[in-house]
A = this chain, B = another copy of it.
Amino acid sequence: MSSIRLLVLGAVRQHGRAHGYQVRNDLEYWGAHEWSNAKPGSIYHALKQMAKQGVLLAHEVAPSTVGGPPRTEYELTDAGREEFFRLLREALASYDQKMDVLSAALGFMVDLPRAEAVALLRDRLDKLAGWRASATEYYTPEEGPGQLGHIGEIMNMWVHSADAEAEWTRGLIARIEGGAYVFAGEGEPFVGVLADGEENPFATGERDPGDDL
């Protein structure tokens, strides 16, 4: 699964009610266009799709004051709130080598209780260990390694990457357990969206890292 549904649900949720362009702006504000597939087409598609599936409720709205075609505003249904937390938990707990999903989940992790966030991250550590084990085993069949040649480098890369992610995960768990950040039910929640009309202070022209490919 890509991160688009989680990002869109999270954006609409923080606004209470939002139209496509607002969501699109928030995602840019979060830098999501740099590390996820959050293109306009995907965002509008996700909104419509999720409205059709009943996790969002669509409101037709009078043509906006600022020009452009008529907007549609969306708001989460109860099913939408459930879906948001389901995706969030899944993203935090499972290792699936998609950094964009994890990035999105980090942005929303404080919507969970502190203890649950930690538990999910520990779950992630377990899954990382499992993946590491299966990678080493797959590339080390009966005859032992050695005649694998350069193919062994693929395994080596995966192991290196799993180890690095495990280390980072342990660090994050330590920070959270050490009292960092404000989690659900602990006071004034963090506000991470642009107010209507507010401009994005981080707006970038073109500065993509990988760019093509």
Residues of B near A138 (CB, < 8 A) are: 31, 34, 202, 204
CB distance B151 to A160 under 8 Å? no
Tell which of B99, B141, B153, B202 touches A202, judged by Cβ atoms closer than 8 Å: B141
Which residues A184-208 have CB closer than 8 A to chain B?
190, 192, 201-202, 204, 207
- Contact at B213–A151, with CB atoms within 8 Å? no
In Å, the complex CA distance between A141 and B202 comes to: 8
Number of interface residues of A (CB under 8 A): 59
Judge if A120 is at the interface, Cβ distance under 8 Å. no
From B154, B171, B204, B209, A95 is in contact (CB under 8 Å) with B209
Q: How many copies does the complex hold?
A: 2
Instruction: Looking at the assembled complex, report how far the CB atom of A183 sits from the nearest CB atom of chain B, in whole angstroms.
Output: 9
Contact B150 A181 (CB under 8 A): yes
The docked-state distance in angstroms from the alpha carbon of A139 to that of B201 is 11
Residue of B nearest to A94 (CB): B213
Chain B residues with CB below 8 A from A161, complex form: 99, 164-165, 168
Closest B residue to A99 by CB, please name it: B97
A107-B151, A149-B182 are known contacts. Are A134 and B207 too (CB-CB below 8 A)? yes
Q: How far is the CA of A84 from the CA of B1 in the complex (A)?
A: 28
Task: Tell whether A103 is near chain B: CB-to-CB under 8 Å.
Answer: yes
Contact A210 B106 (CB under 8 A): no
Check B109 against A150 for contact (C-beta < 8 Å): yes
CB-CB nearest in chain B for A101: B213
Which one of B153, B181, B207 contacts A106 once the chains associate, using CB atoms below 8 Å? B153
Identify 17 residue pairs between A and B in the complex whose beta-carbon atoms are under 8 Å apart, listed by A's number: A90-B213, A94-B211, A94-B213, A95-B210, A96-B209, A97-B99, A99-B158, A101-B213, A106-B150, A106-B157, A109-B150, A110-B150, A134-B209, A141-B201, A149-B190, A153-B172, A164-B165
